[in-house]
Structure 1
Amino acid sequence: MVIILGVERLNESLVVIVRGIIAFFSLLFFTRILGKQQISQLTFFDYIVGITIGSIAATLTTDLTSRALPHWIGLVVWTVLSLSMQLITIKWRRAGKFIGGEPTVAIMNGKIMESTIKKMRFRGADLMEQLREKGVFSPQEVEFAILETDGRLSVLKKAENQPVTPKDLNMPVGKKGVNTELIYDGVVYHQNLKQVNRDRKWLDTQLQMHGIKDESEVFLAVFDPESGQFYIDRYEDKVKNLTDMSDYPEHE
C-alpha cells in the first residue's frame, strides 16, 4: 500500500512538473507577444488581465482534477483578446479612449479641479501624496498636474518653481501651457485646432515650413498656445546613427 501511494505521489509530481514547464514557457511566449505595454502602460484593466492570465497558468500547473488542455486554451484566449485590445487601441483613437481612458487635468494654475478628481474617485490625500513624491508640497507651485490613465500624476511646475529657476536669477518668465494634439497618425483634429484658436490654413502653413506637403506624412503634431511652440514628428524621421539599446548586434 505504501509503495502504491508513493508511486501515485511520484506520478502526480511528474505531472505537475510537466504541466508547470508547459505553463511557464507558454506564459513566457505570450508575454513576449503582448510586448512592453503590460508593464510600461499598465492600466487597471491591464493589471486585471495580467493577474487573470497568471491565475490561469497557475491552475494549469496544479489543478490535477481536470485536463491541461482546457486551461491552456483559456490562456491562449485571454492572451489573444488582450493583444486584440492593444491593436484596437492603437488603430482606433476613440476605442483607445473608451478602453484605456484619457488623462485628466487635476490641477491648473495652482487650483485643484475638485469636481474632476471626485469624478475620477481620486481623494485629495492621494493627490497630495503624489505631489510630494514629485517634490511638490503645495499645489500653488503647480502649473498643470495631469492624472494619467494608470493613476500616476504628471506634474509641470510653474516656471518660477523649476530647478535653477528664472526667479532666482531675476529673469522674466513666460507662461507654459499644455500641448494640444493637432495631428495624430496622419489625421487632423479640427476640434483641437478651434480650441487653440487656429485654422486649417495656419496648420498647412506650419507643415509647409517644415517641408511637409500632406498631413499623412505626420505621426504627431502638437502645439502649445501659450508659448507658440509647434512640434512635429514625421513617420520618416531620417535619424542618423540611431542609438541601439539592445545588448546584441542587429544581425547575429
Structure 2
Amino acid sequence: MNEGLVVIVRSIIGFFTMLIFAKILGKQQISQLTFFDYILGITIGSIAATLTTDLSSRAWPHWVGLLTWALLGYLMEYISTKWRYAGKYLEGEPTIVIMKGKIMEDAMKKMNFRATDIMELLRDKDVFDLNEVDFAIIEPNGKLSVLKKPELQPVTCNDMNITKNEMGISTELIYDGILIEENLRQLNKTKDWLFKVLESRGIKNVSEVFLATLNPGGSLYIDLYKDHIKKVLDIGDYKGPY
C-alpha cells in the first residue's frame, strides 16, 4: 500500500515536471524533430519513468538528472538559434540527393541512405517515377522535399493569366443556433442582411441553423440541423452480424 502511494506521488511529480519541460522544448521538437531531438525526448522520458517506478533509490537524483537533460536540451536549442554555424553542426543542413534529375551518390553515402530509401520517401510524396523529379532534398529532420520538373508542375492562375478573388478565412456567423453579432460587425454585415439571406433559402429562424460561415470572398456556408438527407453513406468497415 505504501509503495503504491509512493509511486502515485512520484508519478505526479514526474508528470508535471515533464509537462513543464514539454512547454519549453516541445514546440521545437515537434516542428523539427532531428535525430538528436528524438534521442533527447526518449532519454528524458526514460528518466521520468525511472523516477516513477524505481523505488530502490531516492527520487531526487532522478529528478536532478531529468532537470539536467532538459536544461542541456534547452541550451542546445538556444545556441542553435543564436549562432548559425553551431546550429548547422548540431542540427545538420539540408542535403540535395537528386539534382537536375540525377542521383547524388556521394551525398547519399555520407548520410547512409540507399536508393530504396529515397524511392520510398518519393512514393510518400506521390512520386512513383524518378523521371518526374528535378530536385530532391533531405531535410535535417529526415523528411524529403521534392521539386518536380517544370513541365510536370501544376498549372497556377498566374500561368493562365487568370485573376482569382481572395477567399480568406471563414468566420462563424451562427453557431449552434446562436447569432454571433460581433463577427457580423467585423465583416461589415448587418443582421438584416443575414436574415434576408436566410429567408431566401427558406430558413425562418436562426435557431434552425447549426453552422453558418462567411469568408471575405463572399462565400456563405449554411448547415441546418435538419439536412433532409434520406440516406447517410456508411464508409466504415463491415460491422458483422451483431
- Identity among equivalent positions (%) equals 66
What corresponds to 2:129 in structure 1? 138
Q: CA deviation at 1:105?
A: 0.3
Q: Helix, strand or coil: the match of 1:77?
A: helix
What corresponds to 1:57 in structure 2? 48
Q: Does 1:33 align with 2:24?
A: yes
Contact 1:109/1:143 (8 A) holds in 2: yes
What corresponds to 1:21 in structure 2? 12
Q: CA deviation at 1:139?
A: 2.1
Q: Helix, strand or coil: the match of 1:71?
A: helix
Contact 1:159/1:165 (8 A) holds in 2: no
Q: CA deviation at 1:165?
A: 8.0
Show the 5 A alignment for 1:193-232.
none
Show the 5 A alignment for 1:1-252.
10-164=1-155
In our comparison, the structure showing a higher alpha carbon Rg is 2
Q: CA deviation at 1:95?
A: 0.4
Which structure 2 segments of 5+ residues have no match? 161-242
1:189-240 CA distances to partner (integer Å, 9 max, x unpaired)?
xxxxxxxxxxxxxxxxxxxxxxxxxxxxxxxxxxxxxxxxxxxxxxxxxxxx
1:131-159 CA distances to partner (integer Å, 9 max, x unpaired)?
11111112221111101111111001111
1:5-60 CA distances to partner (integer Å, 9 max, x unpaired)?
xxxxx000000000000000100011101141111100011000000000000000
Contact 1:145/1:155 (8 A) holds in 2: yes
One-letter amino acid of the structure 2 residue matched with residue 37 of structure 1: Q
The 2-side partners of 1:30 and 1:151 are apart by 24
TM-score, normalised to structure 2, is: 0.63
Q: Helix, strand or coil: the match of 1:154?
A: strand
Q: Helix, strand or coil: the match of 1:36?
A: helix
One-letter amino acid of the structure 1 residue matched with residue 124 of structure 2: E
Q: CA deviation at 1:163?
A: 2.5
Q: Helix, strand or coil: the match of 2:29?
A: helix
**159 and 165 in structure 1: CA distance in 2 versus 1, 3 angstrom threshold:** farther
TM-score, normalised to structure 1, is: 0.61
Mean alpha-carbon deviation: is it higher for 31-40 or for 72-81? 31-40
Q: Once superposed, what is the RMSD of the aligned Cα atoms?
A: 1.7
Which structure 1 segments of 5+ residues have no match? 1-9, 170-252
What corresponds to 1:211 in structure 2? none
1:87-143 CA distances to partner (integer Å, 9 max, x unpaired)?
000000110011111110010111111111111100100000111111111222111
The 1-side partners of 2:60 and 2:124 are apart by 46
Q: How many residues align?
A: 159
**24 and 36 in structure 1: CA distance in 2 versus 1, 3 angstrom threshold:** same
Contact 1:130/1:153 (8 A) holds in 2: yes
The 2-side partners of 1:120 and 1:46 are apart by 17
